[in-house]
Structure 1
Amino acid sequence: MLHVAQPREGGVAGYLVAAARDQVARGWDVTVACPAEGQLATRLREHGIAHEAWEAVRSPGPSAFGEARALGRIVAAKRPDVLHLHASKAGLAGRLLPRQRTPVLFQPHAWSWLAVTGALRHATVAWERHAARRTGLFVCVAEAEAAQGRERGVKGEYTVVRNGVDLTRFRPADDEARMAARAALGVGRDVPLVVCVGRITRQKGQDVLLDAWRRVRQECPTAELALVGGGDLYESTKATGAPGARFTGPVDDVRGWLAAADLVALPSRWEGLPLTALEAFATGRPVVASAVPGLIETLTPEVGELVQPEDPGALAWALTRRLQAPALMRAEGKEALRRSQGFDLRHTYDRLADATTEVAERRKMAVNR
């Protein structure tokens, strides 16, 4: 099994580490091709998972051909039964390789065309339609993601392996756990706290959240906002600032911040199915999020609220309403905890293993004919 990914941190990296660990525990021979430096490589080393250095940048461009050649050398050396490509850059490089017998799984983790507009969006959709010919199976993390592919004319076989959360790692945080987390993080015991976990990028919408936060502070002057994560826009976003907002930078473990939170915000412009929402549920925290595919099928009115993306006024109102009503947040957090049981990570990786095994068996049958 050869997994390939470019993101060094964030949701894709976390997902890949957990998937690789699960497959190794099943007795599979697993290797991950990824950049040599960063959280992904570090965590793979910590868990003793084999990995090969594959240097790639996030953005598409002329470098993709060199990245594809480098990946081709790894594939030729490893000769995997299945090649599993994660996110847009691996999906580009891996499907630029000459046609081969090794079956290819492509997992978008949010389609690449969602990140661009105009002519580039048209070009990206055209590429995905073309690359579908070299894709044995599309693995989508939500029903909405599969629907988006089909609607754009990306033809092929799809399976939905809905994202999940490790319920043994992300556990309910009661008031005692909340106070302990706040003491460790330097947050006041009675401070209303909103937490936003994720890479600071255009996708995740922290700029919209900061705009909304200025309005929130007018109604809740003691409230604080923690933006947890690094990302491409970290420095420029931090420079804009907002009253009561702190930037933590990348963290190795987000559980403390989720435990400390009263409320979790996800102001994304687009998503697949964000792990942060599921981790918040499992911690017992309500979520206010953008009404985008992936989140729409995840959040119900009982666990928080969906607002229109890129609408700081609606986001501010939803946050303020909850910060001023602790009983509402407690009730939503309780329902979020109950809902998290339907996203058990064990089911996610059982489904992924079944889909991967089926693709590998098809290849064996074709070779033996």
Structure 2
Amino acid sequence: MRVLHVISEMGAGGAEALVAGMARTGPEFGWQTAVASAGGHRADALRRHGVPTFTVPAPHRKAAGVLRATAATRSAIKDFRPEVVLAHNVSASMVARLALLPRRVPLLTVFHGVADADYAGAARILRRTSRAVVTVAEATAARLRAAGLTPDPVVIPNAVFPQEPRVDRATVRAALGAPSEVPVALCLARLEPQKRHDVLLEAWKRVGGGAELWLAGDGSLRRSLERNAAGLPGVRFLGNRPDVPDLLAAADVTVLTSDWEGMPVAVLESLAAGRPVVATEVDGVGEALAGGGGLVVPRRNPEAAAEALRLFLFDAGKRAVEGAAGQASVSRAHNPCVLMRSYDELLREWEGRR
């Protein structure tokens, strides 16, 4: 089965991690996979792995951008000749639908989540573009149903595709100039409004000294966040990093203070690495932590986030207990083999309906 993934970019996000994992694992399920995107370090890695990639400029919600993205996606479809197209999120779904006309190739959308106010618009677009919609969490499926999406979306929870650290904890810390004994909180998130790093920095003020906060990611808010963090103890802006397993090996706890999420892969990666998580109570986060592995805190509540961070940063015993619980939970509920079998069955069903 020839499967083309269409996604805005292939950088450091959770949807990108899912696409990369599925593309690498696809041959085990008889897939010939290609990825169409605006590029990024994950696309570079896939090319080195032998996966065909096509360059598609990001549409950026503008008519001219959509037309350019559609033309490039149409070219990718002509060259690769997919039997099924998987579009990741709403904008990719619109572009892929336009690019497929008048072909009868099935288009399925993987919905990773949008802000609360955007669900009605997302449901309206997905009804018109997609043969079927897959959501990565039960909570996002419920929101789409409430917004009027029919037929019912299929829920396939995100999974963690295993990646071992390339270097050990001490090497990573030495490279960053971080003392070996200082507890570290790691935030794996783009520096964009959704992720609410402003709330995290307010929480960090309340944590006090004696620990470090590593912000791995980049985005439009970097300069303003760097200004806000000036004078705060132990805050490091690491930029975009392709070495997430290495950073997880060097950290002690991870934190995510987002306003909204689908099923954040950063949380699943943290659990798989045995790192307890502090995250806001949004959609798939509660599902990811249902089996243990961390603490859920209210949105936009720096006091609660600070209290949870202090608990894990300065209590090694608590970290060990929650870390072990998270590893056990993620191996049961977010297994990549289960995810790939679920997608394989769904895609082959729709490929057979062409």
TM over 0.5: yes
Distance 2:41 2:151 in 1: 33
CA deviation after TM superposition for structure 1 residue 205, in Å? 1.9
CA deviation after TM superposition for structure 1 residue 344, in Å? 1.9
Equivalence for 2:106: 103
Structure 1 position 287 matched with structure 2 position 277? yes
Partner SS state of residue 96, structure 2: helix
Structure 1 position 304 matched with structure 2 position 303? no
Partner SS state of residue 190, structure 2: coil
Asked if 2 retains the 8 angstrom alpha-carbon contact of 1:282 and 1:340, the reply is: yes
Structure 1 position 256 matched with structure 2 position 260? no
5+ residue gaps, structure 2? none
CA deviation after TM superposition for structure 1 residue 324, in Å? 3.2
Q: For residues 116-155 of structure 1, what are the alpha-carbon distances to aligned partners after superposition, in whole Å with 9 as ceiling and x for unaligned?
A: x5xxx4xx72353244133111111111121111111111
CA deviation after TM superposition for structure 1 residue 17, in Å? 1.4
Structure 1 position 17 matched with structure 2 position 20? yes
Once the two structures are overlaid, the 10-residue window that deviates more, 191-200 or 299-308, is 299-308
Asked if 1 retains the 8 angstrom alpha-carbon contact of 2:280 and 2:298, the reply is: yes
CA deviation after TM superposition for structure 1 residue 90, in Å? 0.8
Partner SS state of residue 231, structure 1: coil
Equivalence for 1:367: none
CA deviation after TM superposition for structure 1 residue 99, in Å? 5.5
Asked if 1 retains the 8 angstrom alpha-carbon contact of 2:90 and 2:122, the reply is: no
Structure 1 position 314 matched with structure 2 position 314? no
Distance 2:185 2:306 in 1: 12
Asked if 2 retains the 8 angstrom alpha-carbon contact of 1:95 and 1:131, the reply is: no
Q: For residues 144-203 of structure 1, what are the alpha-carbon distances to aligned partners after superposition, in whole Å with 9 as ceiling and x for unaligned?
A: 121111111111242222111124x258x9xx9544543344321221211111211112
Counterpart AA for 2:150: K
Q: 1:34 aligned to 29, 37, 43, which one?
A: 37
Distance 1:215 1:141 in 2: 33
Equivalence for 1:61: 62
Q: 2:214 aligned to 211, 222, 226, which one?
A: 226
Superposition pairs for residues 36-55 of structure 1, below 5 Å?
A: 37-55=39-57
Once the two structures are overlaid, the 10-residue window that deviates more, 341-350 or 188-197, is 341-350
Equivalence for 2:198: 207
Distance 1:187 1:28 in 2: 43
Q: Mark the CA change 1:180 to 1:70 in structure 2 (over 3 Å): closer, same or farther.
A: closer
Structure 1 position 129 matched with structure 2 position 124? yes
Partner SS state of residue 362, structure 1: coil
Counterpart AA for 1:276: A
Q: For residues 320-355 of structure 1, what are the alpha-carbon distances to aligned partners after superposition, in whole Å with 9 as ceiling and x for unaligned?
A: 233232221221112112212112222211211121
Structure 1 position 165 matched with structure 2 position 160? yes
Equivalence for 2:137: 142
Asked if 2 retains the 8 angstrom alpha-carbon contact of 1:170 and 1:279, the reply is: no
Distance 1:233 1:55 in 2: 22
Identity %: 34
Asked if 2 retains the 8 angstrom alpha-carbon contact of 1:2 and 1:30, the reply is: yes
Distance 1:29 1:331 in 2: 41
Counterpart AA for 2:120: V
CA deviation after TM superposition for structure 1 residue 224, in Å? 0.7
Distance 1:245 1:99 in 2: 52
Asked if 2 retains the 8 angstrom alpha-carbon contact of 1:198 and 1:228, the reply is: yes
Asked if 1 retains the 8 angstrom alpha-carbon contact of 2:292 and 2:329, the reply is: no
Partner SS state of residue 104, structure 2: coil
Counterpart AA for 2:146: E
Asked if 1 retains the 8 angstrom alpha-carbon contact of 2:257 and 2:300, the reply is: yes
Distance 2:190 2:272 in 1: 20
Asked if 2 retains the 8 angstrom alpha-carbon contact of 1:170 and 1:282, the reply is: no
Distance 2:271 2:320 in 1: 12
Once the two structures are overlaid, the 10-residue window that deviates more, 133-142 or 284-293, is 133-142
Distance 1:325 1:301 in 2: 20
Once the two structures are overlaid, the 10-residue window that deviates more, 90-99 or 341-350, is 90-99
Partner SS state of residue 297, structure 1: helix
Distance 2:41 2:86 in 1: 20
CA deviation after TM superposition for structure 1 residue 316, in Å? 1.1
Q: Mark the CA change 1:232 to 1:25 in structure 2 (over 3 Å): closer, same or farther.
A: farther
Q: For residues 31-68 of structure 1, what are the alpha-carbon distances to aligned partners after superposition, in whole Å with 9 as ceiling and x for unaligned?
A: 21112x421321221111112221124x3122223322
5+ residue gaps, structure 1? 364-369
CA deviation after TM superposition for structure 1 residue 77, in Å? 4.2
Partner SS state of residue 87, structure 2: strand
Asked if 2 retains the 8 angstrom alpha-carbon contact of 1:136 and 1:157, the reply is: no
Partner SS state of residue 219, structure 2: coil
Number of aligned pairs? 346
Distance 2:98 2:42 in 1: 24
Q: For residues 182-233 of structure 1, what are the alpha-carbon distances to aligned partners after superposition, in whole Å with 9 as ceiling and x for unaligned?
A: 334432122121111121111222221011101112xxx1111001122232
Counterpart AA for 1:20: A
Q: 1:188 aligned to 179, 195, 209, which one?
A: 179
Once the two structures are overlaid, the 10-residue window that deviates more, 96-105 or 7-16, is 96-105
Counterpart AA for 1:11: G
Distance 1:28 1:166 in 2: 17
Distance 1:190 1:79 in 2: 54
CA deviation after TM superposition for structure 1 residue 74, in Å? 3.0
